[in-house]
Amino acid sequence: MTQAPATDAVQKERSMILQKEMIADHYKQLEHVAETGRKVVYTFVPGNLNELIRCFDNLLPVHPEINALQNGMRKRTGKFILDAEKQGHSEDVCTYVKADIGMLRAGNIGPAGTKLPNPDLLLLSYTGCFTFMKWFELLREEYKAPVAMLHTPYQGDGTISDHMRNYMVKQLREEVIPKLEQISGQKFDIDKLREMLARSREAENDLVAVLESAKHRPSPIDAYFGGVYYIGPIFSAFRGTAGAVEYYRALREEVEARVAAGKGPITPDGELKEEKYRLVVEGPPNWTSFREFWKMFYDEGAVVVASSYSKVGGLYDQGFRHDPEHPLETLADYCFGCYTNLNLPSRVALLSKYVQEFHADAFLINSIKSCNSFSAGQLLILREVEERTGIAGGFIESDLVDPRYFSGANIKNRLESYFQMIMQKSKGAA
């Protein structure tokens, strides 16, 4: 995912300004590909091969789900989704898909207000979400573009074998890299890939330091709502670039300064002064009412100290780093480790670990109506995490970018009741 949502009301620090400039420059480059002769690769956030794409100088990545969430922030996706449904797409289909198809049919004007270029290649690095495959089938029909698929074996038993890794590397060598060479007109340079991976590793170290900072009291960050800003560059078009290294260095410095000063996270209405509840959250956020949704938490003094969504593009906090010494193997391992490619026991273990290590007193699931990759099994996850950690879980429901499935009053009532229960349990324990 997940690039930073657009909201001018958020208090701007240097890292936010850097990210805004990076995103604006990227869309500007996409706008002018006809003049520059650059080629465009559409791909997804989880398991994306950004370093491999960008080691070809004239290739630019586009992430359809980021376009959908950015349009959701701008209140545009409701009409796109209705238009897609009129064309025969079911109400139960992922709303990212319908928002993308609706945008395409409306002229393919992207979140920046300029027309997005058609893909020269659809690069599908499948990581646990079956919808991605169907999505690219639809885009192949629309754009008549070639497809390169990198199939990532599911971690059914929670482990990665040498056989699985070798299977991935073979695909990279025989399927993906030849397609990238063909559309770019350039030969693959493994040394350039190593340089990109080294920059990725540097940025990943700083991102992990930022995420781990939430173990402090008060937490200097919100790892769910604020976290979508932090993960934007590294999960999307900028991992492996010098810009990403600069961004994460600046972000880490800002967060470490907040820790030293004993400050809480920044919200759209300024700094949170009092941390009352520490939460771990499972599931993506709602984008069409993102600020309203966030406000329901910080108005109650609730801070998310860890979330599964901030791991959808990589489990860096669990030790993974891109390894320049083994460039193709490390790309495979990255894909294996994305959150949506983990089985339910692995997800339960990870979320329980977050509750314990970040000293959370609440565990909340935001169940997304149209996202099977996250929502399947969430009630089981809730009960298992409750049993392992001893804390009471909460459950709310919304959707990604369909405004019809965000009931602000209902969610607010459920959250207020949940926080009251947490408060009463805390008083009882004291």
Question: Quick one: pLDDT at residue 133?
Answer: 87
Q: Where are the domains of the chain?
A: 1-430
Question: Quick one: pLDDT at residue 13?
Answer: 76
Count of Cβ atoms closer than 10 Å to residue 196 Cβ: 21
Question: Quick one: pLDDT at residue 158?
Answer: 85
Question: Quick one: pLDDT at residue 251?
Answer: 96
Question: Quick one: pLDDT at residue 15?
Answer: 87
Question: Quick one: pLDDT at residue 7?
Answer: 43
Question: Quick one: pLDDT at residue 428?
Answer: 65
Tell me whether the omega of the peptide bond preceding residue 265 falls within 30 degrees of 0, making it cis.
no
Question: Quick one: pLDDT at residue 12?
Answer: 64
pLDDT digits (tens, 9 = 90+) for 93-152: 999 999 999 999 999 999 999 999 999 999 998 777 888 888 999 999 999 999 999 999
What's the N-to-C CA distance of the chain in angstroms?
Answer: 41
| Residues in the chain with pLDDT values less than 50 | 1-10
Structure tokens, 378: 């969430």
Question: Quick one: pLDDT at residue 8?
Answer: 42
Strand partners, 148: 123
The answer to whether the CB of 273 falls within 8 A of the CB of 262 is no
- Euclidean distance between CA atoms 413 and 393, whole angstroms: 16
